[in-house]
Amino acid sequence: MTESLTRAGVEVRLEGLRREYGAVTALDGLDLTIEPGEFIALLGPSGCGKTTALRLLAGLEDADGGRVVVGGKDVTGLPTNKRDMGMVFQAYSLFPHMTARQNVAFGLRLRKVGEAERNRRAGEMLELVGLSAQADRYAHQMSGGQQQRVALARALAIQPTVLLLDEPLSALDAKVRASLRDEIRRVQLEVGITTLFVTHDQEEALAVADRVGVMNAGRLEQLGAPTEVYGQPATPFVAEFVGLSNRLPATVSGSKADVLGASLPTVAASVSGPGVALVRPEAVDLVAVDSAGSDDPLTGSIVAVSFLGAVTRITVDLGTHGKVLAQMPTSQAAGFSTGDRARLTFRPAPILVVKA
C-alpha cells in the first residue's frame, strides 16, 4: 500500500437534516455523527430517506433544514464540486468514452494534475482495487463488478475527505456482491477514509460497517454496532427489518420477560407488562421430546425442516401460540425431522418486547 493513498479521516456531522418533496417528508431531522475513519452503513427500505441523506451530504440536493459539518467546517451551502467527497453510484457511472485509467484519472485531470502524475496515481488506484490489467479497457468491456471497482478507484483517486457509497453493489449478482463488499471494506480500512454506505441489504450492512444506522420514514431508528443492532433491536421496526424474528406472547416485569414460562432478559426499550417478545430464530434451541400430548407451552411438533447449507431452519408448531422458527448449525439439526416432537429453549440473550 502506497503511503500517499492513506489519509486521516475526518468527522462528519449531519445535524437536524430535513428534506421534503412536496407533501412527502424524506428526511425528518436526521442527526448522525460519523467518527473520523469510521464506516457507517445506513440501512432501510426504499423511501426511508437513506439515499436522500447521502445526497444531502454530497451536495447533490439541497436541505430544507439542518447542517452538514465535515471536519468541523459547515459545508451545507457548498456545491458538490467544492465538497471534496468521492462517490460511488449504484451503477452505470463510469464515463463510457474513457478507459478505466482515464476514468480514474479524470478527477485529477479536473484538478490540473500533470499527465504523468495522474497516470501514476490512476495506476496506483487500479492496483489497489486489483484491476491493473484492465486499465485500458472501456466500461462496456468490463463486468459489472469490475466497473464498480473502477468507480471506487476513481472516487478515491482524488483523495477525498469522505467516501460515499450509494448502493454500489445492488446491480451485481450475489457472488460478486459478496466479494466486492469485502473488497470495499479492505480498501476503506487501508485508506482510512470516513465512509457512508447506503444499502437496503442488511447482510451487506452488517458485514462491513463499524456501525449500522437503521432508517425508517426519514428518521434514524437505531444506530449501533452490527451485533447490537441485530442482537438488541431498539424498536419493533428494527427487529422486523433486520433479520427474522419470532413473535411470542410475553409479560415483562423489571428487566425480565416471561416468554411461555421461560425467563429472559430484556433490552431497555422493552415495554413493561404484557406484550410480544421478538426472538431471533438463532436464539431458539430445540430438545427432542418423546411424549406426545404434553401441555407444556414450549413443546410442539416440527412441521418443516429447511436446509440452508451451513445452517438449518426448523419450524415448530406450538398450537395456540403459533409457529416458531429455530435456526441452528446443520450438524446440530441432523437429529430432527418433520413430525418429531421438540421442546424450545432460549439462549439468554436480551430480547425486545413490544406492545401486543
* Minimum CB distance to another protein smaller for 70 or for 279: 70
Q: Please tell me whether residue 158 binds another protein under the rule CB under 8 A.
A: yes
Could you say which of 51, 93, 194, 270 contacts another protein (CB under 8 A)? Answer: 93
With H, G, I as helix, E, B as strand and everything else as coil, classify residue 166: strand
168 near another protein (CB under 8 A) = no
CA dist., res. 131 & res. 314, Å (int): 43
Residue among 76 and 345 whose Cβ is closer to another protein = 76
- Residue corresponding to grid cell 456482491: 177
Cβ count near 350 (within 10 Å):
15
Q: Where are the alpha helices (DSSP H) in 74-114?
A: 100-110
Cβ-based nearer residue to another protein, 154 or 280: 154
Rg (CA), the chain: 24
Q: State yes or no: residue 106 binds another protein (CB under 8 A).
A: yes
CB atoms within 10 A of CB 152: 25
Distance in angstroms (rounded) separating the CA atoms of residues 133 and 113: 23
What part of residues 45-74 is at the interface with another protein (CB under 8 A)? 58-60
Told to check if 97 binds another protein by CB under 8 A, we report yes
Q: For the segment 230-289, give every residue that binds another protein (CB under 8 A).
A: none
22 contacts another protein (rule: CB under 8 A): no
Q: Is 319 in the site for another protein (CB under 8 A)?
A: no
As a whole number of angstroms, the distance between CA 195 and CA 213 comes to: 13
21/92 with CB nearer another protein: 92
Q: Which residue type does 77 have?
A: G
CB burial of residue 293 (10 Å; 0-12, 13-18, 19+): exposed
Which of residues 16, 79, 114, 130 is near another protein by CB under 8 A?
A: 79
Judged by CB under 8 A, does residue 154 bind another protein?
Answer: yes
- Considering the rule CB under 8 A, would residue 107 count as an interface residue with another protein? yes
Provide the binding-site residues for another protein, judged by CB under 8 A.
58-60, 79-87, 89-93, 95-97, 106-107, 109-111, 140, 151, 154-155, 158, 164
